[in-house]
Structure 1
Amino acid sequence: MRPVRRPEVRLPELRAYDGGELEPEGDYDGLEFTEVDFAGQSARGARFMDCALRRCALDEAVLSRGRLIDCVLSGVRGVGTDLSQASLRDVEVVDARLGGIQLHGAVLERVVVRGGKIDFANLRKARLRDVAFEGCVLVEADFGGAQLERVSFEDCTLTRVDFSAARMTDVDLRGAVGLDVARGIDSLGGAVISAAQLMDLAPAFAAQVGVRVE
């Protein structure tokens, strides 16, 4: 297994965001957003570089096709946040509480998701390279058709996860404290699991190849 290359985010001295709504195609550099409510706002195609978003509300915020580079998202929360086809590079996501986040077609490279809970994440056809999930809870995450390369799950709980048609290379699932695969058991080639996880997944593997266990 090749190890995950983790982001090294070193933020410069940040300037406080002076308020106002986000703008599509906006350019945000070296800013700190603290407890800002971005609910329903659109920053489609915007670029965030060397920024920190702390305890911000992102309900129904539109950041599709946006770029987040060398950023920290801490304590963000929201339902229906749209990051479809966005690019996240060298990003830390800490203690997020998100539901129904749209990341389909997104590109995640050198990203750490640490702590928090994410429900119903849509990562269909996303590309994940050097992504580490640490101590978080993922409920019904959809990785359908996604490409995962050097991705690890450490102290994570994965509930009803969907790996249908996913392609995996050096994906480490051994650290998951709970691994519940709803669909896509046949797409685990390229991943490594523990012996205990194999026993838990044995019925699903048997069903996949048509073996009846009585």
Structure 2
Amino acid sequence: MIEAVGLAKRFGPVEAVSDVTFTAGAGRVTGLVGPNGAGKSTTLRMLLGLVTPDAGTATFGGTPYRELLAPGSTVGAVLDIAAAHPASTARGHLATVAALAGHARVRIDQVIDTVDLRSFADRRVKGFSTGMRQRLALATALLGDPAVLVLDEPSNGLDPAGIVWLRTFVRDFAASGRTVLVSSHVLTDLEHSVDDLVLIDRGRTTWTGSLAEFTAHGTTLEQAFLALTTKELTP
């Protein structure tokens, strides 16, 4: 389980996050949503130990990311798609990461197959489309066979078939008893993927609960989101 309690972070005069609290349970896909500038990216970076919170805690099964004994085998994360060197091949990049993180080499071919990367696994990354880079980023996150996935805009650059594939993948991943936390602005896609929603607005958690409870505020996820973030919902 992912648990964030009272997270807060200020960058100089800017209060990026003031009070974020939520849980993402095992066996479920949890969507993290909010307007631009709401604090979602900062929250994800605090979860993963990339940003030190000014207050609050973020843990995986009760342990902060920086204290996990095998972080790469516990949490797989995709926060951006720019990590691979453009001159390397996809397979070469995965081999490098596996060696540095101590993952078994057999995982390289396994994740290549998992994300349907085999047809361009030996091509140089500099020629990849955004969707191909997105698949490589996901393959990299999966190398350690993690129990948790943290994904930021994972459908960016994917074609319609790729989006359907990703949706099926995250559902199956969670169905195996593992945890998925996914942040996205593509609400129509999230509506078909998530079990639970966490809404962050102006640096604070303003709503948490199941997708069914969230969409009770509107006929679709998008309408419910707009109602809650534009204050059109009657208390």
Query: Where is the helix percentage greater, Structure 1 or Structure 2?
Result: 2
* TM score, norm. by length of structure 1: 0.32
* TM score, norm. by length of structure 2: 0.30
Of structures 1 and 2, the one scoring higher in RCO (CA 8 A, sep 6+) is: 2
